[in-house]
Each structure stands twice: as C-alpha cells, then as structure tokens.
Amino acid sequence: MKTSRYFLLAATGLLLVISTTGLAVKATAAEVKVLSTIAAKSLFSAITPKFQHATGDILTIDFDTAAALQKKIESDEPFDVAILTDTSAAALIQDGKIMADTRLDFARIGIGLAIRTGAPKPDIGTAGTFMDSLLKAKSIAYANDGASGTAFASVLRRLGIDSELKSRIKLVPAAGVMALVALGKAELGVQLINEIAAAPGVELLGPLPPGLQSFIVLTAGAATSSKEPEAAKALIQFLRSPPALFLIKAKGMESG
C-alpha cells in the first residue's frame, strides 16, 4: 500500500508540472549548456531550479557579456541555448549559429543610476536635472564591456558632456561597477536596473529619464549544432510560462 500511495503522489505531482508549465518530465535527463549574458544572471539563478524541477533536465550556465559570448559562439564554442542581447542574437542567426525559428525576445531591461546605500539622492528625474547631477558628481563608474556602458557613453555624447566628465569617469568590467559604488570609490554607478537591485551595498537612484533611456532586449535562441535540441527548445518555451513571467517582473525586468 505504501508503494501505491507513493506512486499516486508522484503521478499527481507530474500532472501538476505539466499543467502549470506545459513541460513534461522525461525518463532521461538532458544536460543543456547555456551561454548567458550577465544581464540575465539574477533571473536565471531563480529560473534554473524551477526549470530543472519541471523537466528533470540539468542546466549548466556560463555568464559573460553579450559581446564576449558572441565572439565565443563565432569561434564555435559549443552550446545549446544562448541568452544574449537582441543585436548579438540577430548577428548569430545571420551567421547560421542560432536557429532563427527558436528566437524569443523574452525580456527588456532599462538602465539606471546607483548610489551607495544611504548616500544623498540627487535629482535625475528629467534630462536637465540628470545632466546637472552628472556634472556635479565627483566620480561616475560604468562598464567598459557591457551593453549598459555602451548605451551610457552614447548618452554622454548626446548631451555633449563626455569630454567634461572624462577625468571623473571610471571604466571597469561590468562585474565591478557596483562594487566601486558600494565601497564609496564611485559616487554614481551606471548599470542595468535589475543588476543594481541585486547588488549589495547600493540602491537604485532611478532610471535614466525619458528621452535618454534605452532598453536592453534579452533574446534566447537554440544552437543550430545543439546536441540537445528538444531540451534547448523546452528551455526557451519555459521562458514564456507563468512562473518565468512572474520572475522576469520580480527581477526588475519587463516581459518581451
């Protein structure tokens, strides 16, 4: 009787997984290699256990900037699913590295300014006050290797203050921007909003103001050379499921 009861509970759990995610647990687990932009790291830390529980498949994820991952894929780095910016994904589809029919733009993220926790909060609500606050800042950190840094550098050029701020700019790898702010080594830090929210010792001052904001679109796609094409497609499908949509919003993103 105990065995029969256990089987019934297990079967009921399986039916629940199928009905809430649209995915079925398989008898044999697949190992899915994911190459993901750092911008999706906080999201995938939450999505991974849910996907693995729903399917039985295992995700192994390497995080880097979208630009660095694009170069790796162009150099034939093996992978099953790529999580990139839309521009990087489009280029790799064009090159035949990603299957076009698996492309999914599943989230977008705005750029924000961070301050050290408890620091004074300058006004950045309009383009004018935003520019004034940048000009008054003693130091500003942003990434020299990520999409947010590229977008922010473009904003400085549009405002015509890039030369004036040059001596106060701290360019560092994306992973180190928030650390500089938390340690008080940079008064302001520029990063994707979801990354600011996940970083210790800092708080979100606010998003870039209307007219200056730009969004990073996160795109998923399966490799044309994937060894686990069905599992890869299942992961991309999962990004449309209610649990994933909930997590996308909870992590400070907008669904695509």
Domain 30-108+216-255 CATH (choose: 3.40.50.300, 3.30.450.260, 3.40.190.10, 3.90.226.10): 3.40.190.10
Which pLDDT belongs to residue 37? 94
Cα separation of 168 and 141, whole Å? Answer: 9
**Whether the domain at 30-108+216-255 and the domain at 110-215 fall into the same CATH topology:** yes
Percent of the chain having pLDDT more than 90? 83
Nearest Cα residue to 105 out of 248, 250, 251, 252: 248
pLDDT in tens, 7-54: 222 333 333 344 344 555 555 889 999 999 999 999 999 999 999 999
Domain 110-215 CATH (choose: 3.40.190.10, 3.40.605.10, 3.40.630.10, 3.40.30.10): 3.40.190.10
For the chain, give every domain's residue range.
Answer: 30-108+216-255, 110-215
Q: Where are the alpha helices (DSSP H) in the chain?
A: 2-21, 41-55, 66-74, 86-94, 127-136, 147-159, 162-165, 177-182, 193-198, 229-238, 242-250
Q: Which tokens go with 230?
A: 């069905």
Q: What angle do CA 20, 23, 28 make, to 5 degrees?
A: 140
pLDDT band at 137 (very low <50, low <70, confident <90, very high): very high
Mean pLDDT across the stretch 217-221? 97
Match 């904003």 to its residue by tokens.
155
pLDDT in tens, 11-22: 333 333 443 445
Kindly report the pTM of this predicted structure: 0.80
Match 């990087």 to its residue by tokens.
88
Confidence check: pLDDT of 107 > 90: yes
